[in-house]
Structure formats: C-alpha cells, structure tokens
Amino acid sequence: RPALRLGMVMMPFGHHQRLMLGRDISDLMRLEQVRQDFVANVSHELRTPLTVIHGYLELLDPEDQPELAPVIAEMRVQSERMGQIVEDLLMLSRLETHQPLQEEHVAMRPLLATLRKEALALSHGRHHIELQERTDTDLYGSVRELHSAFSNLVSNAVRYTPTQGRITLIWERTDEGARFTVEDTGYGIPANHLARLTERFYRVSSSRSRDTGGTGLGLSIVKHVLNRHQAQLHIESEPGHGSRFSCRFGSMRLLKPIRLDA
C-alpha cells in the first residue's frame, strides 16, 4: 500500500507509530475512495431520469398552453442546468480515478479555432473576441481533457465579462515551455477568493454564477486536467478590470506540429 510506505519512509517515528500513521492514512484514503465512488454512482444514476424529464419537456409545446409557456421555459433551463452539473460531476469523477492519461498529438491550430468559435457562439456578438497564435507549437496530452479545460476558461471569460468587454485567447512559447491564456476585461475576482477558486462548487458570487449558468465545477475540472499534464494554472485578477487565467505547460509537453504538406 503506497500510504503505508509513505508513512514508514517519510516519518522519523518508532516502528509502532509508523504503522499507526500508515493505517490512519489508508483509512483516509478509503474514505476518499468511498466519497469518489458515491459521487460517481449518484451522478450516473441521475443521468437516466434526467434524460427522460428532458425528453418530455421537449415534447411540451408552449403554444398549446400559452399560460404555461414561462413555466415550461424555466423548467427547460433548469433541467439543462442539472444535466450540465451531472456531466461535470461525471467528468470530475473520471479525472479523479487516476486512469492513465490518453496521450496523443494535440494539434493546437484546430483546437484554438474551435475555442474561438465556442467563444463567439456563447457571446452572441456581445464581446470583442480575439485569438493570438504566437507560436505553432503543439502539445502532447489528451485532446478531450485539454479541450474541456480550455473551454471552461473561455466560457467563464464570456460569462463574467459584461457586454462590450474584450476577451483574448493567447497561445505562446515561454522560457519554461508554452502557455495558453484567456484574458478578459470582466468583473474580476477579489484577491481573498483567488486561493479557493478551484475548489468544487466554490463561487465568488453564487447569484451571478447561477444567473450565468455556471455549475461551480469548471475550475476544479481545469485544475485536475492541468495536474494530469504536469501543468499549472495561474490566476491574476483585478476587480472591476478583468482577469487572466493561464495554463503553463513544461517543455516535455511540447511537440512540433505535423505538416501534412511537408
């Protein structure tokens, strides 16, 4: 058991104490496993009933009963939201099971183009959206996971930036490797919240987050995905002026792009 070994190797105690410590840690690990399994099972079990509710709501035609139209609309929004929470919880559970990372060539050019399109679709023309590709370097990692992490940062930027704001996506080389940054001129985050931002369900303002359709799980997903790629999330923000979220990758994660025409 790794926990036992950790206790025995790291701690300068007597034999008996080392065993006790080892057992305490493995108890904690078992509890953590129970928590993870519970979340995964509940989320999985919620999927089917939600799909059924969702399906029936789609069948209801508000024009048949105009007085119910606002109720039906609200029920659709809320079931959509619940579906998103369940999907995010399942994604987090998958990330927590420590399955080996599916490593492949991540072509950044098409990924960045997709992220830009997603930003435009979410913004509905309310923001200035810019993509700066300062390098043609690619990444080595999981396309699915990295796409999901970067998308979360992009959708946050759109949701927490008022109309007319500017959102910039930047992909560039650094001394250590490369960096993907999402910058916005939005509401910003007070400094005392920054340290806890990647905790599950942590929100600076729950009403604003709920209004904008957040699940409170986005940044936890980002942090897990980056951890699995040995990358770091850096957050800078100035309330009232905007925020900058950057994902920093080490040079071992970089790849030269494949040129089909070469």
Binding residues for ligand ADP, rule: CB under 6 A, are 152, 156-157, 160, 184, 186-189, 197, 202-205, 209, 214-219, 243
Residue number with CB closer to ligand ADP (160 or 171):
160
CB of 246 to ligand ADP, least distance (A): 12
CB of 230 to ligand ADP, least distance (A): 21
One DSSP character per residue, 219-235 reads HHHHHHHHHHTT-EEEE
Residue number with CB closer to ligand ADP (102 or 205):
205
Residue number with CB closer to ligand ADP (44 or 241):
241
Residue number with CB closer to ligand ADP (23 or 203):
203
CB of 258 to ligand ADP, least distance (A): 32
Burial class (CB in 10 A: 0-12, 13-18, 19+), 249: buried
Cα gap 262→250, rounded to integer Å: 27
- What 8-state DSSP symbol labels residue 65? S
CB of 253 to ligand ADP, least distance (A): 23
* Contact criterion met (CB below 8 Å) for 173 and 137: yes
Rounded to whole angstroms, the maximal C-alpha distance in the chain is 76
Residue carrying structure tokens 């790849």: 255
- Of 226, 224, 244, 246, residue with least CA distance to 236: 244
Kindly give, in sequence order, each residue whose CB lies less than 8 Å from that of residue 94, ignoring residues fewer than 6 positions away.
none
* Contact criterion met (CB below 8 Å) for 224 and 92: yes
Residue number with CB closer to ligand ADP (6 or 90):
90
CB of 133 to ligand ADP, least distance (A): 21
